[in-house]
Structures are given as structure tokens and as C-alpha cells.
Structure 1
Amino acid sequence: MIGRFGLALRQARTLAGLTQEQLADRSGVGVRTIGGLETGSRGDPRPSTARRLADALGLDPQARGRLLAAAVDDPVSLAGRDDLPGDLADFTGRSAEIDRLLAVGDGRAVVIEAIDGMAGVGKTTLAVHLAHRLADRYPDGRLFLDLHGHASAEQATDPAVALEVLLRALGVPGDRIPAGLAERSALWRAELAERKVLVLLDNAASATQIRPLLPGSPDCLALVTSRGSLADLDGAQVLSLDVLPEAEAIALFAGIAGAERVAGQRESVAELVRLCGLLPLAIRIAAARLRSRPVWTVAHLAGRLRDGLTELSTGDRGVAAAFSLSYQHLTPEQQRLFRLLGLHPGPDIDPHAAAALACRASHATERLLEDLVDAHLLQQHVSGRYRFHDLVRSYAATAAATDPDRAAALTRLVEHYLHTAHAADRLLEPHREPFPLEPATTGRPPTDPAAWFDAEQANLAAIHHLASAQGRHTQVWQLACALDVFHRRRGRLHGALTVWEAGLTAAEALDEPAARSRAHRLLGHAHARLGRHEQAVRHLHQALELAEHTGDLLAQAHTQHTLAWASERQGNNQLALDHATEALHLYQKLALTRREAQALNAVGWYHALLGEYEQARAHCETALTLHRGHQDGAATLDALGYTLDSLGYIAHHTGRHTDARDYYQQALTVFRDLGNTYEEANTLAKLAAAQHSLGAPEQAGDCWRQALRLYRQQGRRPDADRIRHHLAALAK
């Protein structure tokens, strides 16, 4: 079977008009090797061989990236990756700085170009422009990472966290990333040793933050920007970027406002850019304002700036004047939305959240958002999502501090995310017991709940933190409930732990036994998933004690079910069976057939783990009958998937490997339909074992590799190690 690389190589060679012999002469790779790759008699080549072939073919960066990506199993490989933000079409000036920065490298040492300077001076714009100019020199990838150094020291990205992001961008799986900063830094340099990669590290806090992130290869380039001085960054060529020369500032203003708007007004333009402090960001905003006001002259605009408007908290009058002028010439509705957006704690916002914040209809709010984009006070980085530039965010937050609607707007914002998350959660798992929640006054359920959770996860975390900091205890534990299914299905183990730690604190502050029991149970579940067995058991027993004290049979049943799962994780299958049996009796007493089916499957599963396969089959087949007896099949898909998986395990361990394969394939379909990548990985691993027992090593290897990728992505190291052992044995 011809692999992806072989097919890609043959296509690229044919397009280049080369024979295999000619390609061998150019690359130094043997003609038999090339032939073997193209016919499938050889496996994927080593990275160095793939790069030699790509170089010999003379491919453009995109085609080269596709060819190198085909040489590895992991589809998240770096090859040709380009994370750079877009270059500005109206980039102006900085010719001397560009000439200096373009003269990079002598081939003997890693190239480090550091650009520092004040906020708004254009460091990132220049670095991005330069990176695009240099892109062809670094065909193996162009990476971009915002280090958030403009924020407080507590908010700046920790170097260890930054290294994890960079290593994952290189395709390094989570289970290979060490915990220590020094070890991560060493692995980062090793991964770049044979690659030509450009890394743009934006908004650095200090040289201390940057040093562990620097490549070690002379074939790589690190571009660094920072508001603070980077003179102590050893080995770096430091460019301290000043404001624009007046001539370039005038050219920038004219290029944005339009040559016809500034014709014959050079002195007025010169005064205006000086009033903007010659700062590129301020000049851009002022020029956009002139362009949108056809009856204004440059002198009129300069006069308005000269009057002196509210300053930014940075104390830089030029920037404050530009922002204030833009703000003052918004309509009252636009001004109000601009201020309220300054309250949002997350990285971006969609029109529905903005509408809740402003207490307006979504379509009207979207028009206002687009107005703010036109005024250069808001950015639309992705269709339908909006964010501030850092300095504009600061200004908006300052303006929002005295808004009389501040408290009510924050309440609306928290309630919007809570109710939308709750609605999305109900779509993901309709028959999960709901938590008490006041009816929503605005908003609507997302059409694709999993995609909504994926897009909003950073905002949801920020809102949850905000609610916790403000003592909104009810919303804190409710939002934790609404996020639980999403975290579980996506394998977001640490995210679940974080929200439930805060959720338990909130539930205890409310002193509501039902909320406390639920919080202890789900926090225990989160600990168990992370292998923290002592903490898991402690919280689960506290949950059970609270449920027994209040006589809440349903909460007792849920907790017994979770205790069974936690006991299995500890390796105590008999105790797991005891807890699952107790859960079954409670669900039967409550006459909850869906829950009874889940508990029957759990009892059957633990019998199977104990080698008691007849009892196991009887319980699981009864569970399957109950699941399929419900007409609303979608509502029970999760539990159906678990039951099919259990029956596959039983069949496999009783020698019925064909039945096992069929059950596992059905379970796999269920989990994939649900986006439950956590259980998808588990079922793939079991399906591989069944395929192997059926004498299908190729199919087994494919399933194991798919499972391995998912385990790596989820940081599940023990599971990944187990699969690697199977693959190694298969290779022998």
C-alpha cells in the first residue's frame, strides 16, 4: 500500500518533470529508495531524507510543507505551518529598521532580533511585516506566540506554559513534554535542531521570560517584541523602536486618510501627527476618523485634538487624544457599547454576548460592533467574533469604570453565558438531571453546542473566574455544572478540576446540601480522572454522606455510580462492583429506566473485569435492550456507547472476536457522533486488540495509532505508553 508520502512525492516529481534517476542525482537519495517510497515497498522516510527530497524538487513553501507533513503519521506536524498574523497592506516607513533587520544571520549562531519600545509604537506591526518578508528563508514553519507581557507580572505567560504551546505547535505530543522548565527548553532546542523555523515571540515581559524560548540552531530566527528593554538579552540584536519620523508619520496618515483628503495641507497634517505623538496606532485612528468625516479638514481635526480630551491611564497624551476623539464622535449607542465591552473579561466576544451585555437585540448590536470596527476601535479577527487592541481595551475599561450600568451589565453577561452554556449542555445530554436555574430572559440555544463550547471555552473560563471573584456563588456552581459534560467528553481534565474547585467553594458558601453534594461528587470525579485517588475518594464519600443525610436517593445513586468508577481506577474491581450494584438498586427503586440501564451496564462491566463473563453478558445485554427500547435514541447515545463497548470487551475475552469487533465499531460510531474523544480513544484501543486477535495486524495498527494520537492530545501518558508497547510488539 502506497503511503501518503509516496503519493505526494510521485505527484511532486511528476509536476517537476523529473525522472526518479534525476531526482536521485539532485537530492543524493538513492534511486531505489525513491522508487520504494513511490511504490509503497518502503515506509515513510526519515525527516532529513524528506527535507533533501523537498529541497531537490525546488518546491514553494506551501507545497514543501504538504510534502513534509505527509512524511509523518501525526497530522499536526509542523511542516510548513504558518501562524503569522496578516501583514498590513498600508504598512508605511521603517525602511532603515527593515534594512537592518533583514541583514540577519551569518550561519554560525542562532539569530535573535529583538524589537523593544513603548506601547503602540508599532513593534508587532514591524515584526509581522519583517516575518512575511523573511518567510521564504524558513520553509519549515513560521510560529507566532503572544506572551502577554503588556499585562501585570501575574498575567504574563509563564515560560514553561509558552514552551508547551510551542512544542505542541511542533507536533510534540503532550505526554512527551516534560514538567520542568529547563527540560522543556532543552526539548524545544532539540526539536528545532534540523529545522529552518522563524519564531515570533510577541509582547515579551522581560529577557528572563524569553531566554528559555530561544532556538539553538543557526538555521532558525527568533523575532522578539517587548514594551520593556531587551538590552540584557544575550546574543540578540536589539532594535529600540522609536516613534515614527515626522515624514513617515505624515505618509502613514496620508495613506490611510487618502491622498485627496490631505492634499495641500502638509503643515496641518504635520501638526496633527505631532498631536498624535507620532505614534502609529494613534495616527491610524485619527486618519480613519478623518476619512469617515468627508466635510472635515485636517486643520479642523487637529484643532479638536489640540483641545485636550480625556487621557489614557498610561499618561501618554497623544494616544489619549486619538482614542478620546474617536470615542467622542461615536453615537451615544456606540459609545455605550464601547464602554460596556470594556467590562468583558475574555479574549473576544460574539454578537449574542455583546447583545446581552448591552441589553439589546443581537442584530442591532452586531451593527454597532461593525461600526466600532469601522472606527478602528474594535477588530474582527474571525468572522462573527470581535476583540480589542490592548491599548483600546485599556481605554474602554477606564471608560467603563464609571458607567452607571456597570453592575447590571456584568450580571447580564454572566447570566448570558450561564444560560447559553446550560442550553448547550442540555442539547449535549438531554436526560441529565437539570440543576435549578431561573428562566432565561434573552438569548437562544446554540445550533451546534459542541462547536459553541469549543469557541467559547476561554470566555467561559474568564466568566467563571469573574463570577467567583465577585462572590456570585449560585452562578459559579451552576456554570460548573453546565460545563461538566463538555469537559468530560473532550477530555479537558484540568479544566474540570478548576471549575469544580471553585464550584465547591461556592456551594459551601451557599450552604445548600444538594449543591454541596453535587459539587463534592463531580470534584471527586475530576480528581479520579487525573489519578488523584485519595482526594477523589474523600470528596465522593463527603458527597455520599450529604446525600444520605438529606435522604436524596438520586444523589446517593449517582455517587455510588461514581464511586464504582473511581474504585476501578484504583484497581479495586470488587469494590467497584459493590458500589455499582448499590447504584443499580437505588435506580431501580426510583424507577429510572435510563439510569437503571446505565447501572446494569456498569455492573456487567465490573463482572467482566473480574472474569465473570456470563454474569457480565447478562447484565449488559439487559442494559442494551433497555437502551434500545427508548424511542428518543439520541438522548441515550452516551450510555448506549458504553454498553456496546462493554459487550465488545466481553465478546473479546470469551473468544468471540468478530462479535467484539462489531460491538466496538458500533460504540466507536456513537462516541464520534457525540464528539466524545475521551471514550473514542478507549474504544479504539480495544478495537485494535480485537482486530489483532482476528489476524488483521494492519487494521489493528491503524486503530492503535489513532488511539495513541488522542491519548497524546489529552495528556493521558499511562494510556499512551500502553499503546506504544502494543505498537512496538506489532512491529516485531
Structure 2
Amino acid sequence: MSNELAERLRQIREASGRSLRELERAIHVSSSSLSRYLSGQSVPPWPVVVALCQVAGRDPRPLRPLWERAKRAPVTPRPSASRPAASAASAGRNDLPYDISAFTGRREELAALLEAARTSRMVAIDGMAGVGKTALAVRAAHRLAADFPDGQLYVDLHGFTPGREPVEPAEALRVLLSALDVASARIPEATSERAALWRAELARRRAVIVLDNAVDADQVRLLLPGAGASLALVTSRRRMVELDTVRPITLEVLPAVDAAELFVTASGGARSSGDPEAAAEVLRLCGYLPLAIRVAAARLRHRPAWTVATLAERLRSGELDVSNVLAMSLRQLDPAQRRMFRLLGLVPGEGVDAWAAAALADVPFGNARSLLEDLVDAHLLQESAAGRYRMHDLLRQVAVAEASPDRSPAIARLLDYYLSGMLAADAAMSHETAGAPITVSYPPTALPAFDGHDEALAWLDAEVPDIVTAFELAVELGLDTATAGLAQVMGVYFGRRGGMERWGRVLDAALPAAERLGDRRAAAWLTYRRGIARQFSGRAAEASADYRAARALMAEAGDRDGEGMALQRLAERQMDDGCFEEAIDLLRQAADLQPEATTTQGHVVTRARIGHALVQLGRFAEAHEAATEAVKVARDIDNLHLETMALRVHGAVALETGDASGALELFRTALAQTRATGHRIAEALSLTDIAMAARALGRVVEALDHHAEALRIIHETGERLRAAPILIPYGETCLAAGDRGEAARHLRQAFDLATALGLRHLEAEARRVLAAMNLEPGADPADR
């Protein structure tokens, strides 16, 4: 946006003598939106400019050319301290591991790195294993944080992690884009498109990105910044000679003086400096590698009876390399600690918390937490964040070598922990997931306690990446029961946060597992859920085929609830095509499968969807009756999300029958409930409802504000299927505000989207409004 326009708007606001809250009441635009307009983060609709001028007693006409130039210019959002979660740049996000408190030496290398950051956008740190590449990169990134305020990101590329394949560039790009708050459903499937989106996101930010443990130049090439001021710090055991634009910094082993300083600091002081000859031998046996020195020093610090000579003797008894130091360290562990260390080497994801470790080792939660802390103290485990633990690659190599060849029982326990955790999170959100019975062969010894939606969603946000990685290992190991169960319950997360294409791939992998188990009911439910994933990924025909197949399988298995839910989804597809009578017929078939006086989720959904179809047919009295019944049942089962669905039908009836004020109150109640449940997509739909009611009351400026907020949420979630029903009423409100160009733009976007996704009803609706404007869907969008 033009800085000049933002400055003029601030002058007008000052001339009005009103606060943002007072302006909010005067022109019916939220104070948060006003703040974005006045700070230059977004361009206000023209009616908002007019309203501001009227309040201040100014003529808005001189601002029109300035406003039009700002509308045509690309918008570069700036971080907003008042709304960090919605900020495009997610200012201040810091994913870096903890900085090592006893960081020693590397003065010249650190100075060179900090200097390179002023002139280069890419610095590569190379050196042998254990030499301190990650420690230097993390130290530098923390030092540079103030110069790169839009984020400090970290990703482990696992280039040399024992037992793991290096992270593919496509997956690394997904992780990095997610760290910039790009919704998973917005992230393209093609690697080249992901790389382009990544470069575009970085071009308007100042961020520092640590790409740790790269296998080679090919792995990082697409992850490097393009235009803009961001900085990438790459670490690898290989030199990045193929990357001409990267500034290289090579780490050698520590000089003797720095190694000695590190040993004294890490071992706790005077005792380690009292025998310089023995200390020198310890450093030599550790190869002057920081990792080996820290592990050896930790052994001395926790063995009061040892001298430095004792430590040297223990090191001398074996080979003089890092593996020997680590093996010696393991010999100091008691059996429980050593067993936990071995099992942690099997963890397929980035790390674990104490609950996962307890399940992995089949020990009580308190024991697991103590063992993890013991391993952290011994420098055999890193606490990457409070309560989260990960293992260094070299240590993982030792752990894997020590572990039993049969890892299936431990992994099965871990998978059942994840499965139980997701079911507990679902219960905390009152989602009431239906489906085939899920078998938990190894009930976990403990689970985190979730106090409502927020805590459950926070746990899912943290754990789902590792759960997906564990699911892939379950498929590899042939753990079919866990595979089928996890795929079912993952919809709890992907349905709320987006990522339907990813869930679809999970379900594709799980269906063969259900077939091998001979579990036809599980196969039916997995097929049904794959239909949902396909429907919300824009694959309408395949979704309908899955729903029909699932219905047949449910009927064979005698699962009346499942058959009814498949019919509900088929009805939803009929409504997408504008076939509302046919949809009602399918929904009534679904209702016939439900027992009388039922109080289930399926009953609420059936009645609410019947009400929605009746509204579209103009049968408002019947729609009101269906919605009333749905609200009552939803309240009986205490499900806010489903109550919101029914309230939206009530509001639609009121709006269509001329009671816009009543509709507005119902829609506001629905919005409050969607925010209480954390359902972002439902929030956007409720905001659109409110905008339509406000427009009907003649409050066009207020309506535009709500439309813009709804569209912003949809863009954040990336759920393309939900954008069309939001864009059409947005276009109609723009038309009511006299902004024909914006109306045409939104309606054409809606038409193109509905056509691509097979939403024939919305395609026809967009065409109808455009025709009323004497425009065709493919005409010149510059029409005014």
C-alpha cells in the first residue's frame, strides 16, 4: 500500500479527534481493521475512506486517485504487534534450539560469520562430525535475531542421521512454509512451485534460517533465499563447492587452548584443571571435538570420586575416537537409563516428550521424565525446547547400534500412545469421532490432560508432524492395526487445520492395512474418510465414488450410523450440484437409519443439512423446524460446533424472510461459538453470514469489513473449497458499495474456483450475478 495514503488517513483520523474505538462505533468498522488501514498493512475499501472523511468533515474526492494507485500496487504486509497470529510475517517467531551456555572458542569463525551476514544471503558451515557446526550456526542465529526480526527458523535436514533418509527438498519446503504460517492446504504439491512460494514469502521478510545437517548442495539449493534480505546458514559435513554464491566457513577441531577452556567449563571447574597432563590426554583422546569433550566432561562432573587421570584411563582403554567416548559414557548409565537411551534411538520423528518416552519404554510417566533429565545431564540427549527432547546424530548412531534388532514392540507402543493422545484430544474438543472401533493394543501408562479445545489443539499442532512420520514407519513395519487406527483419527486434526490432500495420502496407505486385517468395517470407514479428503481437495467425482462404495460396505457390515453418514455426504455432493430435492431425499434416507428420539451427532447433521437445502428451495417454515430440532439435539449433546451449523440455518431463514436484525444476532452467536471451538473455517463462514445480514440492514461498510476478514481466514487455512461461497456474497456487497471493479473481480474468482472444483451450484450463482452486471465470467476484469 502507498505510504502516502496511510499517512493521509492518519492525518484524517487525527483531525477527527476520535479514538479507534470511537471510530469503530461511528462507521461500523472494527478497530483491528482500522489499525491495519492506518498502519499501511492493507488498503481499505473506498466506502471506508469516505466514512472516515465524513467523520472528520473532509472531502474524500482528492483521495480517490491516491486510493486507486494503492489498490493497483502489490501489498506488502508488515508484522503487527497487536495481531501476531494473523500477521503475514509472523514477526518474532523463533524456532532455534537453545544456545549452548558453555559455548567456547570459535571467536574468529563467529566474527567471520557475523560479518558475512552483512553482505551475503547464504553462509555454509562445513566440517567433520562433532566439530560444532550446529552450535556455531545456532549461536550466530541468536546473535543475529535483532537484525532479522521477521523470524529465526530452524530445520534439521537429516543429511547424516543414522537410520533416516535425508529430508527431501519438497518436505523441507513444507516445513519451512508452515513455519511462516502458510496453511498446509495452500502449499503446492510440486516441488518447484513450493520453492517459488518459499522465495516469494522470504522476499518481503528479514528472516534468518538455519538449514542444519545438509547432505549436499542439491538438498539445499531450492531452500535458499532469492530476492530480499533474508539469510540462510547451512551446516554440512560436506563443502558446498557447487554453490557459487554461498560464503563458506570451514570448522577444524578446536585449538588446544579453546578445547581446554571448554573442558574446564563443561566439567565444572577446578578439579579438571588440577592435572594439566591428564587433561591434555583427555582432549587428545576426544580428538579435540566439542561433542566428545562435553560428553567426557559430563562424566567427570557427575563422578566426584574420579580424577582427570581416571577419566583419561577410561578413555585410553579403547579406540581413540568419538564412538569410544560415547560408548564409555554409556557404560556409566544404569540399566534403566541405558535402555531408555537405546529406545530413543528408534524414534522416527524429530523428538519426543515425556509421555511418548513413557509409552516407548513402557514405564510410568514420572520415571520417564527422570530418565530423560538424566540423559540430558549426561549430554546424551538435548532438550530442544521445554519438555521436548531430541538426540544428536552421532548419539543416535550409537543408540541404534545398541538397540535390539526387533524394534516393532517399542514402536507399536509409541504408535498406540499417539493414537490414544489423538482420541483424548478429540474428546476434549467434543468432536465425537464416529467410525470403526479402534484397537489400542498397548494402552499408554499416561496421557497429557487437555482442558478444552485450546490445549488439545496445541498438543496436536506440536505432535502431528511426528505422528505422520511414525505412521509412515508403521506402514513400513507392517503394523496394520496401528496404521488403520491412526489414519481414521487423523481427521480430527486435518479437518480443522487444513491439509486434506496430505490426509488423503495417509488414507490411501491405510486401506491396504485394513484389508490385510480382514476388517471390512474399518475399510468402509477409511473409504468414507478418503471421500471427505478428496471432496475438500476438489476431487468431486472421486469423492462421490468413495461415498457410494463406503455406503455399500457399511450396509454389508450392518453399520447403520456409517451408512447414514455416507448418505449425508452424498447429499452434500448433490447440493454442490444444485440438486436440492435429491439431496433432501438422501438425507431423509439417512434419517430413517437413525433410531427415534436419537441424540447423536448424525441426527444433528442430518436435520441441519435438510434445513439448508429447504432454505435453498424457499421452504422456510420447514427449514426453521428442522433447524430448531438440530439446535436442541446439539445442545443436549453439548456440541458447540454442531450447534453453530444449526444456528446458521436459523439465521438464513430469518434473513430470507426479511428479519435481518434477527439474523444478525443469530450469526453473531454462531461466530462466538466458532471462535470458542477454534474452528477457523466455520469462523470464516459465520463472518460471511454476518456481512450478508449487515448489508441487508444497509450497513455496507461494516459488511465489507467482515467479508475481508472472512477471506483472510480462508487464505490462511488454504481451504480452496470454502472460498467460492465467501467470494460470491463479497462481490455482491462490493456492488452495493458502488465498487463495480472489485465486485467483478471477486465474482470471477468465485466462478473460476467453483468450475475447477466441480461446484456447479456456486458456478451458476456466480454466473447469474455477473450476468446481472452485463458481464461474462471471462471478460476483462478492468470493467468499472
Partners of 2:272 and 2:351 lie apart in 1 by: 35
Alpha-carbon contact 1:131-1:198 (below 8 Å) kept: yes
The answer on 1:305 being equivalent to 2:308 is: no
Alpha-carbon contact 1:637-1:670 (below 8 Å) kept: yes
The answer on 1:97 being equivalent to 2:109 is: yes
The answer on 1:359 being equivalent to 2:353 is: no
Aligned to 1:145, the other structure's residue is in SS state strand
Equivalent residue, structure 1, for 2:631:
624
1:67-216, aligned counterparts within 5 Å?
69=81, 74-104=86-116, 110-151=120-161, 155-167=165-177, 169=179, 180-182=190-192, 184-186=194-196, 188-193=198-203, 196-216=206-226
Aligned to 1:333, the other structure's residue is in SS state helix
The answer on 1:373 being equivalent to 2:376 is: yes
Alpha-carbon contact 1:688-1:704 (below 8 Å) kept: yes
Equivalent residue, structure 2, for 1:604:
611
Structure 2 counterpart of 1:233, one-letter code: L
The answer on 1:525 being equivalent to 2:525 is: no
Query: Structure 1 residue 335: deviation in Å?
Result: 0.9
Partners of 1:637 and 1:80 lie apart in 2 by: 33
Equivalent residue, structure 2, for 1:325:
328
The answer on 1:44 being equivalent to 2:48 is: no
Q: TM-score, normalised by structure 1?
A: 0.83
Equivalent residue, structure 1, for 2:396:
393
Equivalent residue, structure 1, for 2:691:
688
Report the CA distance shift for 1:357/1:731 in structure 2 as closer, same or farther (over 3 A): farther
Report the CA distance shift for 1:391/1:494 in structure 2 as closer, same or farther (over 3 A): farther
Aligned to 1:215, the other structure's residue is in SS state coil
Equivalent residue, structure 2, for 1:673:
676
* Corresponding residue to 1:244 among 220, 234, 254: 254
Partners of 2:596 and 2:42 lie apart in 1 by: 65
Alpha-carbon contact 1:429-1:485 (below 8 Å) kept: no
Equivalent residue, structure 2, for 1:417:
418
Query: Structure 1 residue 328: deviation in Å?
Result: 0.7
Alpha-carbon contact 1:66-1:80 (below 8 Å) kept: no
Alpha-carbon contact 1:528-1:569 (below 8 Å) kept: no
Query: Structure 1 residue 301: deviation in Å?
Result: 0.7
Query: Structure 1 residue 398: deviation in Å?
Result: 1.9
Partners of 1:590 and 1:508 lie apart in 2 by: 35
Partners of 1:204 and 1:68 lie apart in 2 by: 34
Query: Structure 1 residue 190: deviation in Å?
Result: 5.0
Partners of 1:31 and 1:356 lie apart in 2 by: 58
Report the CA distance shift for 1:353/1:600 in structure 2 as closer, same or farther (over 3 A): same
Query: Structure 1 residue 48: deviation in Å?
Result: 13
Aligned to 2:101, the other structure's residue is in SS state coil
The answer on 1:340 being equivalent to 2:343 is: yes
Report the CA distance shift for 1:409/1:731 in structure 2 as closer, same or farther (over 3 A): farther
Structure 2 counterpart of 1:401, one-letter code: S
- Unaligned runs of 5+ residues in structure 2 are 24-33, 44-76, 451-455, 740-784
Structure 2 counterpart of 1:130, one-letter code: A
Partners of 2:207 and 2:344 lie apart in 1 by: 37
The answer on 1:568 being equivalent to 2:575 is: yes
Equivalent residue, structure 2, for 1:451:
458
Alpha-carbon contact 2:161-2:396 (below 8 Å) kept: no
Aligned to 1:469, the other structure's residue is in SS state helix
Partners of 1:598 and 1:591 lie apart in 2 by: 12
Structure 1 counterpart of 2:109, one-letter code: E
Alpha-carbon contact 1:419-1:440 (below 8 Å) kept: no
Partners of 1:159 and 1:485 lie apart in 2 by: 28
Partners of 2:538 and 2:204 lie apart in 1 by: 37
Partners of 1:292 and 1:213 lie apart in 2 by: 42
Structure 2 counterpart of 1:479, one-letter code: L
Which piece of structure 1 moves more, 127-136 or 586-595? 586-595
Alpha-carbon contact 1:138-1:197 (below 8 Å) kept: yes
Alpha-carbon contact 1:308-1:321 (below 8 Å) kept: yes
Query: Structure 1 residue 662: deviation in Å?
Result: 1.9
Q: Deviations over 1:660-686 (max 9, x none)?
A: 222222222333333322322222222
1:699-714, aligned counterparts within 5 Å?
699-714=702-717
* Corresponding residue to 1:648 among 634, 651, 656: 651
* Corresponding residue to 1:260 among 270, 274, 286: 270
Query: Structure 1 residue 30: deviation in Å?
Result: 11
Query: Structure 1 residue 484: deviation in Å?
Result: 2.7
Alpha-carbon contact 2:10-2:38 (below 8 Å) kept: no
Equivalent residue, structure 1, for 2:286:
276
Query: Structure 1 residue 527: deviation in Å?
Result: 1.1
Equivalent residue, structure 2, for 1:293:
303
Aligned to 1:213, the other structure's residue is in SS state coil
Query: Structure 1 residue 329: deviation in Å?
Result: 0.1
Equivalent residue, structure 2, for 1:508:
515
Alpha-carbon contact 1:265-1:298 (below 8 Å) kept: yes
Report the CA distance shift for 1:219/1:243 in structure 2 as closer, same or farther (over 3 A): same
Percent identity over the alignment is 38
Query: Root-mean-square deviation (CA), in Å?
Result: 3.5
Report the CA distance shift for 1:283/1:573 in structure 2 as closer, same or farther (over 3 A): farther
Q: TM-score, normalised by structure 2?
A: 0.78
Query: Structure 1 residue 186: deviation in Å?
Result: 4.8
Alpha-carbon contact 1:507-1:515 (below 8 Å) kept: yes
Alpha-carbon contact 1:201-1:224 (below 8 Å) kept: yes
Which piece of structure 1 moves more, 68-77 or 657-666? 68-77
Partners of 1:353 and 1:608 lie apart in 2 by: 49
Partners of 1:208 and 1:593 lie apart in 2 by: 53
Greater RCO, CA 8 A, separation 6+: 2
Number of equivalenced pairs: 677
* Corresponding residue to 1:544 among 545, 551, 562: 551
Alpha-carbon contact 1:613-1:650 (below 8 Å) kept: yes
Partners of 2:489 and 2:188 lie apart in 1 by: 32
Report the CA distance shift for 1:318/1:663 in structure 2 as closer, same or farther (over 3 A): same
Structure 1 counterpart of 2:318, one-letter code: G
Q: Deviations over 1:244-283 (max 9, x none)?
A: 2222222211121133022232222221122112211111
- Unaligned runs of 5+ residues in structure 1 are 6-26, 50-64, 310-316
Equivalent residue, structure 1, for 2:744:
none
Query: Structure 1 residue 239: deviation in Å?
Result: 1.9
The answer on 1:408 being equivalent to 2:409 is: yes
Partners of 1:37 and 1:157 lie apart in 2 by: 51
Which piece of structure 1 moves more, 498-507 or 228-237? 498-507
Alpha-carbon contact 1:198-1:221 (below 8 Å) kept: yes
Alpha-carbon contact 1:279-1:318 (below 8 Å) kept: no
Partners of 1:367 and 1:195 lie apart in 2 by: 41
Alpha-carbon contact 1:489-1:678 (below 8 Å) kept: yes
Partners of 1:188 and 1:38 lie apart in 2 by: 39
Structure 2 counterpart of 1:472, one-letter code: L
Partners of 1:692 and 1:473 lie apart in 2 by: 53
Structure 2 counterpart of 1:297, one-letter code: T
1:24-35, aligned counterparts within 5 Å?
35=11
Aligned to 1:686, the other structure's residue is in SS state helix
Structure 2 counterpart of 1:417, one-letter code: Y
Which piece of structure 1 moves more, 546-555 or 123-132? 546-555
The answer on 1:663 being equivalent to 2:666 is: yes
